[in-house]
Amino acid sequence: MKREKDKLTILINKEVKDKYKEFCEKKGLKIGKQVEIFMQTELEAENKRGKNAK
């Protein structure tokens, strides 16, 4: 199943972004994929916190 893609515009420090982009290029990673993984991890953690709060 192919996932639909969407764009996200964010404002971040250019120096930090450039350094992270270079890091990702060296590791063969895509910045967008790293953001996606971070977002998914946060959603999963929030879901677990919600289940534990009941």
Give the pLDDT confidence of 1-51 residue by residue, as tens digits: 678 888 889 999 999 999 988 888 888 788 888 888 899 999 999 999 887
Note the pLDDT of residue 52.
73
| Residue positions counted in the chain | 54
> What pLDDT does 19 receive?
94
Residue type, 39: M
Q: Tokens at residue 26, please?
A: 């060296």
Residue partners of 53: CB distance under 8 A and separation at least 6: none
Alpha-carbon distance 42 to 6, whole Å?
18
pLDDT at residue 33, as a whole number: 84
Q: What are phi and psi of 17, to 5 degrees?
A: -60, -45
* Token digits of residue 18: 């450039």
Given this model, what pLDDT does residue 26 score?
84
- pLDDT more than 90, % of the chain: 37
